[in-house]
Amino acid sequence: MEWKLNNGWNMSKIAINNVSKIFENKGIPFKSLDNINLKIKEGEFLCILGPSGCGKSTILRIIAGLDSPSIGEVLMDNEIITGPDHKRGMVFQEYSLFPWRSVIENVAFPLEMKGVAEDERYKIAEEYLKLVGLEKFKESTPYELSGGMKQRVAIVRSLAGDPEVLLMDEPFGALDIQTRNQLQKDLLKIWEDKRKTIIFVTHSVDEAAFLGDRVVVISKRPGKIVKTFDISIKRNRNRLDSEFMKLKREIYDFLESGE
Amino acid sequence: MRKTLTAIIIPVLIIIGWSLLTSFNIIPEYILPSPSEVLNSFLGFLGTNELLIDTLATLSRVITGLIIAAAIAIPLGIIIGWSKKAEGLSNLTIQVLRPIPPLAWIPFAMLWFGLGFESAVFIIFIGTFFPVLINTIDGVKRINKVFVESAYTLGASQSQILTNVVMPASLPSIFTGLRVGIGIGLMCTVAAEMIAVKSGLGYLIMESMNLIDTGGVIVGMLIIGIIGFLMDYSFRKAEKKYVLWSGN
């Protein structure tokens, strides 16, 4: 194992190597992802930015192990990913809380699957709910919560599984702008606190620029990496700051020239 | 309260119309007994324990048949709904066996189990098994994929997903299957009792017919209706309690 640590190219937490994905629609194959190569460092906050239908969600699903690549491979800690695993938690755009469980039972779910005793897992779940200010709603059912609250619970439910990597598939896409901005701030706080690696898919330039250490731009069909922006602006970023606006303009300019 | 009042308008009108038609002899007694005749038969039954015994006989058969059918059909339905292989393996068999009316099994039920409890339970089992199975399969197939995928990424194994996600998520459909099953089960019981069993409400109806006690026939029919209503009602209550979330 040790020699690997000395090799720079092996240091990445997640490595996507030459990944292509071909789907079939009514017998006609089409390429959704074309030769994706990407390395993500441990603790990094990476945003994948692209228009809808560019296959950015597919990248995330392949990393999660919910889909497999047609060509290429994805490694986590130098091991090929073959299926889903609690080490890679995923937060979906669609509301995914189990409606037959209360809020706290939802957050305790991954602990229950691991066989953690009931008292213990409720104690842990409550801590996580406090993290997003929802401990008062622990006995509520998911349908009593607003959209933003649901996604907060979904995030801490993933965290309760103690993932090393958190995959987020446009989790704030269905929320209004104020809620969305608030959840972005909450997420950054959690990220700084828990130091997880986060891969965040979005079609919003603003969101990507606000959150990411790095923004990878994916082109439309077939999805290809066309540009990477390294973001050096310190957090907490201010949306009205000239540096931030300049960065956004740079990304917008690229998108408009590229398409 | 208002709802209850609305609900009894039609039954009351039927009884009034029925009384008028029979008491003015517009419909002769031998075609349709009057309400008071039915009440007389009912009171006659109350004199003996017959009615209670027959009602309990029918109820115990329906419930036994339904429990056995559910115990097999629910797990089987979850497996078939979950696994494409299990579906491919069983689909043709199910589709051919399902349309056979449960009553067509009566000859074999009598051959295998004789006259009595087992025979009736077997017929009810056949009648309730398929609605529960089909609804369970359907419920499993319609589960939102995001629940299953979330559970995988939260570290659940396949068997944990079956018990902790698939089972609760398909509970609303399973309940629908059970409710349909109860209705069919009750029909099967009564029919089986008319042919293959010497007790129960179906038997009571046939016996009353033989004694030309048409009031007794209607008593039997009404009790069956009320049992069916009460069973469905209690199931709906249970459904509200256990799958409250499905309404939203």
Comparing alpha-carbon positions, the chain A residue that sits nearest to B171 is: A100
User: pLDDT for B79-98, tens place per residue?
Assistant: 999 999 999 999 999 999 99
Among A117-121, A235-239, B97-101, B223-227, which stretch is predicted with the lowest mean pLDDT? A235-239
Radius of gyration of chain A, Cα coordinates, nearest whole angstrom: 19
Comparing alpha-carbon positions, the chain A residue that sits nearest to B149 is: A66
Spacing of C-alpha A10 from chain mean position: 22
User: pLDDT for A183-210, tens place per residue?
Assistant: 888 888 888 888 889 999 998 888 888 8
Residue A161 has its nearest CB partner, among B144, B154, B168, at B154
Task: List, in order of start, the domains of chain A with CATH numbers.
Answer: 8-92+162-258 (3.40.50.300)
User: Residue A231 to residues A11, A180, A217, B163: CA-CA distances in angstroms?
Assistant: 21, 21, 13, 45
Using the beta-carbon criterion (under 8 Å), do B151 and A109 form an inter-chain contact? yes
Residue A4 has a pLDDT of: 46
Contacts of A86 in chain B (CB under 8 A): 153-155
pLDDT at B243 over 80: no
pLDDT at B72 over 90: yes
ipTM, two decimals:
0.86
Enumerate the domain spans of chain B. Answer: 55-243
> How many contacts (CB atoms, under 8 Å) link A and B?
75
Interface of A with B (CB under 8 A): 64-66, 83-86, 88-90, 92, 94-96, 98-101, 109-110, 112-114, 141-143, 154, 157-158, 161, 163, 167
What's the gap in Å between the CA of A102 and the closest CA on chain B? 10
Mean pLDDT of chain A: 84
CATH class of the domain whose range is B55-243: mainly alpha
User: DSSP alpha helices (H): ranges in chain A?
Assistant: 2-6, 56-64, 103-114, 118-131, 147-160, 177-194, 205-211, 242-258
